[in-house]
Amino acid sequence: MSQTKSVRVFAGELWQATMIKNLLDENEIPAFLENELMGTIAPWRVSAGGMAPVVVIVEDVNEERALKLIEEFNQADWETEDSTEED
């Protein structure tokens, strides 16, 4: 029986980590947040200088797929159709 390990695939503010977790969940990659509460209440206690205190964790078997989804998400063009339409 092989054991899976937990790996960090993202670190940031709570709102960013929540968006990434939701993206992974929607793509059937189980993920959870580390330091969700302490990262908001006292971020300097969970990370140096309080930077990127909330971490998204996945199983190592999903790491490559998760990183690819996160990269695609970060590179997406977020312009809406409304902003490109002419009046």
Which amino acid is it at 34?
E
Question: Beta-carbon neighbour count of residue 37 at 10 Å?
Answer: 11
pTM for the whole thing? 0.77
Q: SS3 string of the chain?
A: CCCCCEEEEEEECHHHHHHHHHHHHHCCCCEEEECCCHHHHCHHHHCHHHCCCEEEEEEHHHHHHHHHHHHHHHHCCCCCHHHHCCC
**pLDDT tens for residues 70-86?**
999 888 776 655 555 55
Question: Beta-carbon neighbour count of residue 77 at 10 Å?
Answer: 4
**pLDDT tens for residues 26-54?**
999 999 998 877 767 676 676 767 677 88
